[in-house]
Amino acid sequence: MPSATNEVEIKAKAAKAASKKLANLSTAVKNKALLAIADELVGKEKDILAANRLDYREGKKAGMSTAMLDRLLLNTERIKGIAGDVRTVAALPDPVGETFEMRTLPNGLQVGKKRVPLGVIGAVYESRPNVTVDISVLCLKSGNAVMLRGGKEAVHSNSALAKIIQNVAYRAGVPEGAVQFIESTDRAMVGQMLKMRDYIDLVIPRGGADLIKYVAQNAAMPVVTGGIGVCHTYVDRSANLEKAAAIVYNAKVQRPTVCNALDAILVHAEVAKSYLPMVAQQLGRAKVELHCDKRALKILKPLTSIKAVPATEKDWGKEFLALVAAVKVVDSLEEALEHIDRYGSGHSEAIVTEDYSAAMKFLDEVDAACVYVNASTRFTDGGQFGLGAEVGISTQKFHARGPMGLRELTTYKWIVLGSGQVRP
């Protein structure tokens, strides 16, 4: 058995070698492979569920929480869902090979860009076994090889899924080695993987804040970080208050455990007295707890329909991922902008306003991946934005920002078509 370092290096090298062939694989073969993977996932359901039961049993024995166990669990319906997602990716347009910004220079040279895969994508992720399939097919479709490192707690499920993908893809004509899965659960493997700058072109961490931070700080190659969303909705003095209540309710309640859910409500002092009781009553019915600044608390304390408690400094800039929201009364749009600048995570920020200048100022000045006027931040999502599938949501500024689709797993090369031109 190879040592930790060896397994990682051998597999990274194999992925790099495969990536060179994969870069020019036809869309037809890639789609054929994806559809065959979808079929095989359903066909091999029994094997997958058997592996998943091992993980589930071990997780239960180790005292894993019900929520974690639920994330780990696979069943017939979930496997069907995963297979359906694979078919969705197969149906998406292939970003590779697109030629763009092509022009003819005065000397007759044709110069432009051609879209090409990045090469090898490293994925480091936790618990949910569907990520194994998800990332693999997004990489294959975009012509990238992939090196998978899932969480220890799902290793049997991930391994079973990876084997299916590897075998089916190879049979369909995908170069051998295009999908690499690290079997060893030794934590040192992640560290080793993050050093493979010569073989891995980009690392995508998917999981909790700690994992993302660890990968960002230790990777020798570029990393796409994201998924941490401290999202504000600012209700301007000119807001349509019914709209503002519906937007805030949706952003907080529709799915509170995800990154684009609302964390803090900022409300202009002029409308706070009419707006806060209204929205609080609605939020109260959904059992939302409000952590309020002094002025908001004064307005909301008398209400019995909502749990309103004093906010502490920690509540500002906190991603709650639960039915909790911070509430602050501000005296101006500028104060709201400053608060967002200070406490936001650069994910999704919204204003509710009927004032044209306020809307424009908010759009211009908020420095975040997604800036909204009069809509729920819950729309920040590759599917909702029309990208078809989503690799993740980047909160960094480099390369890609916001929801990342297949195109964000590619780069370009300049191509220059001449007829003997030399530089004078």
Classify burial at 69, counting beta carbons within 10 Å of its beta carbon; exposed 0-12, middle 13-18, buried 19 or more: middle
Task: Give me the sign of the Cα torsion angle 137, 138, 144, 148.
Answer: negative
- Cα–Cα distance measured from residue 297 to residue 48, given in angstroms and rounded to the nearest whole number: 52
- Cα–Cα distance measured from residue 316 to residue 339, given in angstroms and rounded to the nearest whole number: 9
- Compute the least distance from the CB of residue 105 to a second copy, in Å: 6
Query: Which residue, 46 or 103, is less far from a second copy as judged by CB?
Result: 103
- How is 131-169 classified by DSSP, letter by letter? HHHHHHHHHHHTT-EEEEE--GGGHHHHHHHHHHHHHHH
Query: Which residue, 88 or 167, is less far from a second copy as judged by CB?
Result: 88
| Residue matched to tokens 């999908």 | 179
Query: Which residue, 160 or 325, is less far from a second copy as judged by CB?
Result: 325
Within 8 A by CB and 6+ apart from 109, the residues are 416, 417, 418, 421
- Compute the least distance from the CB of residue 101 to a second copy, in Å: 9
- Compute the least distance from the CB of residue 15 to a second copy, in Å: 15
- Compute the least distance from the CB of residue 237 to a second copy, in Å: 17
- Compute the least distance from the CB of residue 361 to a second copy, in Å: 9
- Compute the least distance from the CB of residue 130 to a second copy, in Å: 21
Query: Which residue, 322 or 416, is less far from a second copy as judged by CB?
Result: 416
Query: Which residues of 202-301 form beta strands (DSSP E)?
Result: 202-206, 231-235, 262-268, 289-292
Query: Which residue, 118 or 148, is less far from a second copy as judged by CB?
Result: 118
Query: Which residue, 46 or 423, is less far from a second copy as judged by CB?
Result: 423
Query: Which residue, 303 or 385, is less far from a second copy as judged by CB?
Result: 385
- Compute the least distance from the CB of residue 27 to a second copy, in Å: 14
| Residue ranges binding a second copy (CB under 8 A) | 20, 23-24, 103, 105, 109, 111, 114, 116, 118-119, 201-202, 217, 220, 222, 240, 243, 246-247, 249-251, 254, 341, 363-376, 378-380, 384-386, 396-399, 401-403, 411-423
Query: Which residue, 290 or 368, is less far from a second copy as judged by CB?
Result: 368
How many residues are listed for the chain in this entry? 424
Q: At what angle do helices 27-43 and 130-141 cross, to 10 degrees?
A: 160
Cβ atoms of residues 347 and 228 within 8 Å: yes
| Residue matched to tokens 């707690």 | 153
Q: Interior CA angle at 394 toward 359 and 82, to 5°?
A: 115
- Compute the least distance from the CB of residue 299 to a second copy, in Å: 24
